[in-house]
Structures are given as C-alpha cells and as structure tokens.
A and B are shown apart, each in its own frame.
Chain A
C-alpha cells in the first residue's frame, strides 16, 4: 500500500524558512513514473499547487511562489522536500504532499494526510 507522510516543524517565525519533507512508502521514487507535488490549503480556503519534483530532480513551481520555493528529492531516503523562504502569515496553511503520474497532463491520485504549518512569532 502506497502512503505519503509529511513531516516538519508546525511553527515558523515570520521571515524565516519553512521546511517540510514527504516520506513515501510502498513505492520507490527512483523507479520513476510519477511526479511528486506539494499543495497547500489555508484554513477554510481552497487548494493551491506549489510545485513538483521528479525522480531525476527536475522541478516545476507555481509562478506565484517560484522565487521563494526550492524543491528537492532524496531517492536514497525515498523522500522529497519543500523549502519556502521568507514566510509571512499568509503562508500559514495545511501543506499536503501528493503523487501524480508523469503524463503531460496529470492529476493527483494519492495525497498525504497534511501538515499544519503556522507562521507566527
């Protein structure tokens, strides 16, 4: 059974850096065939796609966040990670990691349970 699990600090101070890791079990990232994405959801609001990474480390980011987002993959640990710099209160949200097939046009077929990150002093 394939599972995704987010981990990272639940509280980040304004102007600092948010770091999250998604651990994948049940499938090897290095086998390819998928994109690995981050999506966030502020409380009571809709979903925003942040970006994705593939098994080779290739990335695409949402232009609205691109200057602050770094995505990476560690196939030896079967993990992928998100770094979001210079955070503000507007970055407070539940952050999900998700999987998508590496087609040209692709949807999210599997999601992690989500990790709440609060930006506050």
Chain B
C-alpha cells in the first residue's frame, strides 16, 4: 500500500497570511494526487486533482504543485473559511490512500 505522509500535522496561520502544506508519497504516483478540504462535521470537499488542477468553484488562492513523490498545496492568503483540515490522496495505486491530514488553525 502506498503511504501518504503529510506535514506539518498542525499549521498555525494568521488570516491574510499564506500557508504551504506538504504531502509525500512512499512511491511515485506521477501526478495522480488530489487535495481535499474538510471542515468540522462536514464531508471532504475536492480542491485539487491531477496535482495542480483546481476543481470547479475553487478559488484561485488555492494552488497545487508537484509530481512523483513530493506535492504541495499552497493557500496564498487565508480567509476565515479556509481554516480546516486538508488531506492529500493518491489514486495511482490500489488501494487509493489518503494522508493523515494537516490542520490549518488560526494563529
């Protein structure tokens, strides 16, 4: 099974600041990587697929990059609604696997 490791576990950021979240795969997944946002008590929401393509309706302040084993989600200027948990997911190998998540909290 492909292990996805996210860092940091928790990221404290002030509103308006930027945030950089990392995701590492235990083996190359090419660009088959998605990012999801999950707010408390809600289902995950797709942000990014194909490592860098924003899903429909996702603001431009969210951007994804990387390929192979190293990926990054960047939020350029955090809004109040962006404080949540973010998960990466690889969909190149069976079974599809998720990272443990990064919680972005208000500093």
Q: Does B71 contact A (CB under 8 A)?
A: no
User: A107 with B91: in contact, given A96-B43, A113-B42, A113-B43 (CB under 8 Å)?
Assistant: yes
Complex Cα distance, B88 from A47, in Å, reads 10
Residue among B89, B96, B98 with the most chain A CB within 10 A?
A: B96
In the complex, chain A residues 70-121 whose Cβ is within 8 Å of any chain B Cβ = 96, 105-114
Point out which of B1, B43, B92, B94 has the most chain A C-beta atoms below 10 A from its C-beta. B43
Q: Report the separation of the CA atoms of residues A110 and B87 in the bound assembly, to the nearest whole angstrom.
A: 15
Known A109-B46, A109-B55, A113-B43: A46·B101 in contact at CB below 8 Å: yes
Q: Report how far A45 CA is from B9 CA in the complex, Å.
A: 12
Residue of A49, A60, A107, A108 with most partner-chain B CB within 10 A: A107
Given the known inter-chain contacts A46-B101, A47-B87, please indicate yes or no for A107 contacting B46, CB distance below 8 A: yes
* A45 / chain B contacts, CB cutoff of 8 Å: 100
Interface band, chain A: 20 to 34
Q: Are B46 and A49 in contact (CB under 8 A)?
A: no
**Contact in complex: B87, A112 (CB < 8 Å):** no
Residues in A neighbouring B36, C-beta threshold 8 A: 108
The residues of B that contact A46 with a CB separation of less than 8 Å are 87, 98-101
Q: Residues on A close to B: CB < 8 A?
A: 45-49, 60, 62-64, 96, 105-114
Can you list 18 A-B pairs with a CB-CB distance of less than 8 A? A45-B100, A46-B87, A47-B98, A49-B97, A63-B94, A63-B95, A64-B95, A105-B91, A106-B91, A107-B46, A108-B44, A108-B89, A109-B46, A109-B49, A110-B46, A111-B43, A112-B43, A114-B43
